[in-house]
Structure formats: structure tokens, C-alpha cells
């Protein structure tokens, strides 16, 4: 009898002191079903069993160690009611079946106006999937996929499908196939997210009028790939060290009316890659220390480049497949091409006194052989350029009629050097060599 009482005491102690072992953790669906519309369900620290379906408007609030763990056969959480909140918990172990038409996720949302906040996602196919779901907020979500070696075996961090007017902000995504994938998704705001070690950090397909602001992309194969999408705005984003075979900071493919402003493209294989795109504005961006600053195909026309700082790239800009009709200035303001293209600005209006023309012969190598990208830092490339320059085999890549003088001090130094040179010449002509030696030599004596 004493042993039985001791056993019951230990069992009750474990139930109440270790919530993760509580029998209640196996009845999360029953708890949800028992709640009224608009109710708040507070979860304890511990592990609750998925898979669950939320089919009424309730608010599920967890604690620091609250976990909802799926059985690996479907969505861990399916939200099928509007206005649901899921907050402060970890969700894990969805199905990884790539052949299912369902496309499983840790959290899949089928209705509108839900909030998913302060959630950790692990062991999933897609992290969060919005399916024809509008006006949702996804905020402060930590999404970690299987890693670069498993990119092909998993889905995307945030997958937005036929879903409009959503807000995706302050999320951290790592090691998924694409960080954020938007397909037929319009008018979404994507801000202050950090995405790394994915294929494409951001991937737009047939998605129009989205605003992408203040995000950071690092160590991805491609930063942002915008394809067949119009009216996108990208402002104040960081595209840093997105590097691999034919990789890029930002790709525009068959995309029009895009505004790309105040972004940084640093240490990418290609900063900007533009193909089959029309009427895009590229303004006030910093494009520095990339292998190729801007790669522009002749199939793209009516791009406007103005007030960008394009400096210290191995190739500042290259036009391929012919010469498109694009402009390197707007309202008589071109671009700052850095110290590789010293300019005179005698009237000190901030614009070079003569147009800037950049010529190169590398376009033919790049067009003919993709492996050229791997050797752009080789000394052989510089030799190739010099030889072709000697034999006049270069082609104009850029004609900037109003290049910006970015470094006022450098411009001033050039003015002083020019004035000094003119003074020396005038002195020689007017006073002869002897007087010049008196002025600059040792007592007029020959040295």
C-alpha cells in the first residue's frame, strides 16, 4: 500500500512540476475546440502535440519553452479562421513530403487577418505558408531550415501564394530553399528581415506593387530575384556577399516599373543583373567592390541610372547582347564612378566638365563563356583588356553625359594640379628656363 501511495505521489509531482509530461499536452486540439470565439488560450512551458486545426478566431499565447510538435505527416498548425493569433512558441516537425499537392508547412494559413509573432520554426518543409490569405502579419519569426546541403529537399522560409496586403517584418530566415517566395502576391510590405544561406533570399514571381524596405541579404546564392513582376519598390536594403556561379545581389528579369533606391550592393559577383526589363529607376544606390557592378542585357530598355555610387568594382558596368536604349543620367545628374574615373569640375557644380565614357572588351568573353565570371579577378583579365585596347577592339559600355563628382577634395586637388601646370608653362614661356630655375631651383644654378 505504501509503495502504491509513493508511486501516485511521484506521478502527481511529475505531472504538476514538469508540464511537458502533462497529459494535457496531448489534448491541445481539445483545448482549442473547447474555447469560444475570441478567447485567449495561454499555453504552459512544455511540448504539445500537433497536428492541430484552428477553425475559430482565438489567440494562442505560449511561453519561452512552449513547443507544438507535429507528427511529421502534415501541417503542424493549420489556421482556417480569420483573425487568429499565434505567439511566443516553437513549432516543429511538419511533413517533409515534396510530392504532396498540399505543400506542408509548420504553419499554414488559409484565412485572413491573422498574426504570427515571436515564433521559432524548425524541421519543416515550408516554414509559414499563406494560401490565398490576405492582410496577415508575420513578425519576429525565427526560421531555420535544413541548411545549404539540403536546399533542394525542402521548401521556403515564408511562402506567399495568391496572398495580398500582408506585412512580413523583422523575421530571421536561414538555410531554406528560398528565404521568401511570393507567387501572384500583390501589395505586400516586407521590411527589416535578415535572410542568409538560401538559394534566393527573396523570389518574386508574377507579384506586383510590393514594397521591400530595410532588409539584409548575406551569403545567399542570389540576393533578390524579381521575375515577371511590375511596380516593385526596393529601398534601403543591403545585398552583401551573395556569391556563387553566376550569382547576383539583385536580378530583374522581365520586370518593369521597378524603383531601386538607396540600396547597398557590396561584394557580390554581380551587383545588379537586368534582363528583358523596361522602365526601371536605379537611383542613389551604393554599388561597390562587386566583380561586376551592373550587368545589363540589350533586351532591357529605358532603365534610368542616376546618383548611384559605382566604385571599386572589377568591371563597373557591362552591356551584353548588343546596345539597349538606357540612360545613365536624369535631370542632368549622372552617377559617381569613383576614383577609377577622375574628373574635372572647374565650375564646382558637382558635375564633371566632360562626359564619361567607359569602354571594355570583356563583354565578348562573358557572352561566349560563362566560366569568365570565375576569373574576373585574374591578372590575365587585365592583360586581355590592355591588349584589346591597344588593337581598338573595345566597345562602349557606358556613356554618362553628366557624371557626378563625388569626392570634392579629389576634384579640388585636380584643379590645383591643373593650375600649377598652367603656371609652370606660362613661366617657361614668359621668363625662360633660367628664371624658372631661380623660382624653383637652387639660386638659378643648373642641377
Q: Give mean pLDDT, residues 186-198.
A: 97
Residues 359 and 427 in one domain: no
Residues 429 and 315 in one domain: no
Q: How many Å is the maximal CA-CA distance in the chain? A: 124
Where does the pLDDT of residue 101 fall: very low under 50, low under 70, confident under 90, or very high at 90 and above?
confident
| Higher pLDDT among residues 219 and 24, named by residue | 219
Residues 349 and 423 in one domain: no
Q: How many CB atoms lie within 10 A of CB 387?
A: 11
Q: How many CB atoms lie within 10 A of CB 158?
A: 29
What the block records as the C-alpha cell of 141 is: 519569426
**pLDDT for the residue 360:** 76
Residues 318 and 424 in one domain: no
Query: Is residue 313's pLDDT more than 80?
Result: yes
Q: How many CB atoms lie within 10 A of CB 181?
A: 26
What the block records as the C-alpha cell of 192 is: 527589416
Cα-based torsion angle of the residue sequence 12, 17, 18, 22 in order, rounded to the nearest 10 degrees: 40
Where does the pLDDT of residue 217 fall: very low under 50, low under 70, confident under 90, or very high at 90 and above?
very high
| Higher pLDDT among residues 58 and 363, named by residue | 58
| Higher pLDDT among residues 69 and 26, named by residue | 69
Do the Cβ atoms of 92 and 67 come closer than 8 Å? yes
Where does the pLDDT of residue 310 fall: very low under 50, low under 70, confident under 90, or very high at 90 and above?
very high
Where does the pLDDT of residue 383 fall: very low under 50, low under 70, confident under 90, or very high at 90 and above?
low
pLDDT, tens digit (0-9, with 9 covering 90-100), for 332-376: 999 999 988 999 999 999 999 999 998 876 666 666 566 566 666
**pLDDT for the residue 321:** 82
Listed ranges 93-102, 278-287, 414-423; the one with the highest mean pLDDT = 278-287
Query: Is residue 379's pLDDT more than 80?
Result: no
41 lies in some domain: yes
**pLDDT for the residue 386:** 60
Residues 320 and 447 in one domain: no
**Burial readout 354-372 (b: 16 or more C-beta within 10 A, e: otherwise):** eebebebbbbebbeeeeeb
Residues 347 and 420 in one domain: no
19 lies in some domain: yes
Q: Give mean pLDDT, residues 84-95.
A: 98
324 lies in some domain: yes
260 lies in some domain: yes
pLDDT, tens digit (0-9, with 9 covering 90-100), for 270-309: 999 999 999 999 999 999 999 899 999 989 999 999 999 9
**pLDDT for the residue 404:** 96
Which alpha helices (DSSP H) does 173-328 contain, by range?
none
Query: Is residue 390's pLDDT more than 60?
Result: no
| Higher pLDDT among residues 410 and 123, named by residue | 123
**Burial readout 394-425 (b: 16 or more C-beta within 10 A, e: otherwise):** beebbbbebbbbbeeeebeebeeeeeeeeeee
**Helix or strand or coil: residue 69?**
strand
**pLDDT for the residue 324:** 78
1 lies in some domain: no
- Residue 374 phi/psi, 5-degree rounding, is -75, -15
| Higher pLDDT among residues 321 and 250, named by residue | 250
Residue 245, classified by CB atoms within 10 Å of its CB into exposed (0-12), middle (13-18) or buried (19+), is exposed
- The answer to pTM > 0.85 is no
Total tally of structural domains belonging to the chain: 2
**pLDDT for the residue 254:** 97
Where does the pLDDT of residue 140 fall: very low under 50, low under 70, confident under 90, or very high at 90 and above?
very high
Measure the N-to-C terminal CA separation of the chain; round to a whole number of Å.
118
4 lies in some domain: no
What's 360's domain CATH number?
2.160.20.10
| Higher pLDDT among residues 117 and 358, named by residue | 117
151 lies in some domain: yes
Residues 185 and 312 in one domain: yes
**pLDDT for the residue 67:** 98
Residues 324 and 420 in one domain: no
Residues 241 and 317 in one domain: yes
Residues 365 and 435 in one domain: no
Instruction: Say which range, 152-156, 204-208, 215-219, 413-417, has the weakest mean pLDDT.
Output: 413-417
Give the helix/strand (H/E) hosting 205: strand 200-205
Q: Domain limits at 439?
A: 416-447
Residues 316 and 442 in one domain: no
What the block records as the C-alpha cell of 436 is: 624658372
**pLDDT for the residue 246:** 74
Where does the pLDDT of residue 419 fall: very low under 50, low under 70, confident under 90, or very high at 90 and above?
low
Cα–Cα distance for residue pair 325/425, rounded to 1 Å: 44
**pLDDT for the residue 15:** 47
Compute the 3-state secondary structure of the chain and give helix, strand, coil in percent, each to the nearest 5: 20, 35, 40
Residues 98 and 158 in one domain: yes
Q: Give mean pLDDT, residues 313-328.
A: 88
317 lies in some domain: yes
Percentage, residues of the chain above pLDDT 90: 66
Q: Give mean pLDDT, residues 229-248.
A: 91
**pLDDT for the residue 358:** 87
Q: Give mean pLDDT, residues 181-197.
A: 98
Distances 1 to 6, 8, 14, 15 between C-alpha atoms, Å: 9, 11, 20, 21
Instruction: Say which range, 13-22, 54-63, 175-184, 239-248, has the weakest mean pLDDT.
Output: 13-22
**pLDDT for the residue 243:** 78
Amino acid at each position: 500500500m505504501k509503495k502504491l501511495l509513493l508511486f501516485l505521489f511521484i506521478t502527481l509531482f511529475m505531472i504538476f512540476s514538469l508540464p511537458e509530461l502533462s497529459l494535457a499536452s496531448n489534448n491541445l486540439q481539445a483545448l482549442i475546440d473547447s474555447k469560444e470565439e475570441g478567447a485567449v488560450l495561454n499555453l504552459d512551458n512544455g511540448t504539445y502535440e500537433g497536428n492541430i486545426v484552428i477553425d475559430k478566431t482565438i489567440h494562442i499565447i505560449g511561453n519561452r519553452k512552449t513547443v507544438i510538435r507535429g507528427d511529421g505527416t502534415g501541417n503542424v498548425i493549420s489556421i482556417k479562421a480569420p483573425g487568429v493569433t499565434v505567439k511566443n512558441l516553437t513549432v516543429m516537425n511538419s511533413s517533409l513530403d515534396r510530392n504532396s499537392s498540399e505543400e506542408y508547412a509548420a504553419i499554414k494559413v488559409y484565412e485572413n487577418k491573422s498574426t504570427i509573432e515571436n515564433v521559432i520554426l524548425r524541421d519543416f518543409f515550408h516554414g509559414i505558408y499563406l494560401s490565398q490569405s490576405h492582410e496577415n502579419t508575420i513578425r519576429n519569426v525565427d526560421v531555420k531550415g535544413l541548411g545549404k546541403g539540403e536546399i533542394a529537399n525542402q521548401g521556403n522560409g515564408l511562402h506567399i501564394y495568391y496572398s495580398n496586403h500582408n506585412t512580413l517584418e523583422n523575421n530571421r530566415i536561414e538555410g531554406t530553399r528560398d528565404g521568401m517566395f511570393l507567387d501572384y502576391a500583390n501589395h505586400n510590405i516586407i521590411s527589416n528581415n535578415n535572410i542568409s544561406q538560401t538559394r534566393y533570399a527573396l523570389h518574386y514571381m508574377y507579384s506586383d506593387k510590393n514594397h521591400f524596405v530595410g532588409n539584409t541579404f548575406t551569403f545567399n546564392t542570389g540576393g533578390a530575384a524579381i521575375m515577371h513582376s511590375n511596380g516593385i519598390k526596393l529601398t534601403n536594403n543591403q545585398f552583401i556577399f551573395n556569391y556563387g556561379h553566376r550569382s547576383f545581389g539583385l536580378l530583374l528579369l522581365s520586370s518593369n516599373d521597378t524603383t531601386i533606391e538607396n540600396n547597398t550592393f557590396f561584394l557580390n559577383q554581380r551587383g545588379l543583373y537586368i534582363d528583358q526589363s523596361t522602365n526601371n529607376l536605379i537611383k542613389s544606390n551604393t554599388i561597390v567592390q562587386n566583380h561586376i557592378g551592373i550587368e545589363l542585357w540589350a533586351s532591357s530598355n529605358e532603365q534610368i541610372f542616376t546618383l548611384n555610387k559605382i566604385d571599386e568594382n572589377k568591371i563597373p558596368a557591362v552591356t551584353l547582347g548588343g546596345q539597349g536604349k538606357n540612360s545613365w543620367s536624369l535631370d542632368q545628374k549622372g552617377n559617381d564612378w569613383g576614383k577609377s574615373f577622375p574628373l574635372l569640375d572647374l565650375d564646382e557644380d558637382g558635375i564633371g566638365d566632360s562626359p564619361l565614357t567607359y569602354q571594355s572588351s570583356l563583354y565578348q568573353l562573358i557572352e561566349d563563356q560563362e566560366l569568365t565570371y570565375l576569373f574576373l579577378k585574374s591578372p590575365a583579365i587585365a592583360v586581355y583588356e590592355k591588349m584589346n585596347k591597344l588593337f581598338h577592339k573595345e566597345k562602349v559600355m557606358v556613356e554618362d553625359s553628366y557624371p557626378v563628382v563625388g569626392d570634392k577634395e579629389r576634384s579640388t586637388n585636380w584643379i590645383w594640379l591643373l593650375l600649377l601646370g598652367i603656371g609652370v608653362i606660362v613661366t617657361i614661356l614668359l621668363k625662360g628656363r633660367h628664371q624658372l630655375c631661380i623660382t624653383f631651383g637652387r639660386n638659378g644654378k643648373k642641377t
